[in-house]
Structure 1
Amino acid sequence: MQFAVVNSSVSSNLLTIIARSINEKFMLVQVLVVIFLYVNCLMILTFLKKEVFRDDTRYILFAQTLFVDSAFMVLSDLLLMGTFYKYPIHLIPCIIICTVVTILTVCTPLTLVAMCLERYVAICMPLRHAEISTSRTRFRGLLIIWSISSIIPLFTLVAYLAVIPSGVLLSTAVCGAELMLEKDWQAHARAIFFLLLFLFMIIIIAFTYIKIMIAARGASSENKKLTNKGLRTVILHAVQLLLCLMQFLNPYIEMEFWNADVMVFINVKYFNFIVFIIAPRCLSPLIYGLRDDKTYNVAHVYLCEKIMSMDSASILGGGGGVNKHIIIKQDRP
């Protein structure tokens, strides 16, 4: 009897430690998501603030990446919250959310590929860049990106609706992307499509990198800096693309640890979420926010204006009558 009491106490302590670890990891994810969304919103407002950004293909693709990544993070975090709290929802909104998340998941790497192609045209064909980069070309490019992004999610949706029994759509379940993979052949077909898409994008990235590298070797000294910067941008996009596409392997990686220790499985799942879902979507603001002079300067000025306006509002709101009088008097010519 005493041995059973000791075992019960150890088991209770272990569950408490596991629950505390999960709560800490969950709260850290929420903090990272909030920081990420704040930076993205700042970059989006920077894009909307200057008209010159809205006429440049490079910055339009950058803005699309920001929008797609922000929407993806919000929906992914909602799914994470539902899984964390074991909150069941109706299957129809769950299917819609999972389909949209998959579209956004594919849209980001395709947009990165389009950004690499834009850099290739700008560096390797500078005289034709203005001719190629027109509003009509941009519209067609965005249409192609969203069309290709919808192929795999729509296939998954149609295949799922074809195999589920009648009446299941009216039920509730804890929502997750794996919910739509009812049969093994669906998961295998989805993996093959993602693999083909991955190879297609890697070939384009490699092509643009080689072409820009050749242009960098033959560039004059005054164009050398611009060409080398474009080369580094393509390399960063390749790293970002690799991290984005690695998330497609997350279910297979986590499956290997399903029967392992509980904490090991939780740590693997947590690592995958941070490294392959959050991290690649933090790189776009760094690549085109801090490294690009135009967006950095506009974002810096906009942020300073917001801070100054907040400081002025706090002084006017809580500084008393004397401070208000001093400020009004100083503002007069």
Structure 2
Amino acid sequence: MSSRRRKPDWLKSQPPTGQRFTDIKQTLRDRDLHTVCEEANCPNMGECWSGRDGPGTGPGTATFMLMGERCSRGCNFCDVATGGMDPLDPDEPENVAEAVGEIGLDYVVLTSVDRDDLDDGGAAHFAETIRECKRRNPGTLVEVLIPDFGGDEDAVRQIIDAEPDVIAHNVETVERLQWPVRDRRANYEQTMDVLEQVDRESDIYTKTSLMLGLGEYDHEIYRTLSDLRQVGVDVVTFGQYLQPSRSHLDVFEYVHPDAFETWRQVAEEELGFLYCASGPMVRSSYKAGELFVDALVRDGKSPERAREEARAAAES
């Protein structure tokens, strides 16, 4: 289906504004830090950065991208530049941790580009950033969205040992569409192995995300969800794939919000995921999901109560 199609009304969003948004951008620039929020032009950036109760009202969330602006892989859905890898910045763990404190985030997501050029895929650098964020900001919950580290279990174990509150690794799409959606060095089985290892070796909550609108069939989505539950994934998110540029994969279809709600119900009520954030504008790091984890981890609330509060806050 042509990417020239006009987007439906439910995919329109307002550009981020406000003093807090401006202040966060300045803090990031001052420390030469990058966020996926900006790199991916996330439609929820203003909402997440503004705070849990609206613009200017207090701590929010942000997703920091570690290990540079360039990725060693070239996925056909992603707009991050590929190749020309830079050396790791040894000051990055400290700079990120200081920025988290300066901005006043109560929930931070750390992710990264793929660094297949490094012996451990950058796992030690990633783990050090987790530990530094925890040390300097003991009241902040840390979620990590990790690469697959080429299937290296020792690298994944370094992330586990750093003790983040949530470990996420995205399956992105159904098995049939892994290529051409993802780089050939990523694959369905390897992703399941990473998620299963985290579940097997820790009590850390696990999370993953799928994009819809790439040409997947309903039975493939259901099978993917079933496989994810089998390897112990706790939280799943669904969002609409949007083409970053005309050189990327076309959008096959714009999935109606009602379909996203159906998949939320299937995930939570039929398959037993603790939480599912599902909607056209949802991304893997999204305030509703983070509010759920916050209530679950920090306040010790039941999944049912945590879900109720997260949805109420996201809709307010």
TM interval, short-chain normalised: under 0.3
- The structure richer in helix per residue is 1
Q: Point out which structure has higher relative CO (alpha carbons under 8 A, 6+ apart).
A: 1
- The structure richer in strand per residue is 2
